[in-house]
């Protein structure tokens, strides 16, 4: 399994989403965190499972939440580029 590494902006995306859920319901925030963990384990176990959409980046939907994890595969690790809400502009993360 490859190591998962969040870009700082992607960590910010995750933290913002987690905090949003936490302010509303701690149990839902925990479920969100667990769903992200499950998605990341799937990605780490088989990084090429998800098709590329621009030749470099891949997208993994987070089950049970309107979020996706956008990542790219490096030689020794997986770089999480964004944790994106479905209603957010799809290109907000480009340039990271």
pLDDT the model gives residue 31: 98
Number of H helices, E strands in the chain: 2, 4
Q: Which two tokens stand for residue 71?
A: 């990542």
Whether 91 has a pLDDT exceeding 80, the answer reads: no
17 burial type by CB count under 10 A (0-12 exposed, 13-18 middle, 19+ buried):
buried
Write out pLDDT tens, residues 48-63.
999 898 999 999 999 9
Query: What are the extents of the domains in the chain?
Result: 3-85
pLDDT the model gives residue 49: 94
Q: Candidates 3.40.50.1000, 3.30.2310.20, 3.30.1060.10, 3.40.800.10; correct CATH number of 3-85?
A: 3.30.2310.20
Write out pLDDT tens, residues 69-86.
999 998 889 999 999 999
């Amino acid at each position: 399994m490859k190591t998962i590494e969040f870009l700082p902006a992607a960590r910010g995306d995750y933290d913002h989403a987690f905090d949003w859920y936490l302010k509303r319901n701690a149990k839902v925030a925990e479920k969100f965190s667990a769903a992200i963990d499950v998605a990341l384990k799937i990605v780490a176990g088989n990084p090429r499972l998800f098709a590329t959409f621009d030749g470099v980046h891949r997208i993994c939907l987070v089950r049970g939440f309107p979020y996706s994890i956008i990542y790219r595969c490096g030689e020794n690790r997986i770089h999480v580029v964004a944790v994106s809400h479905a209603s957010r502009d799809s290109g907000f993360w480009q340039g990271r």
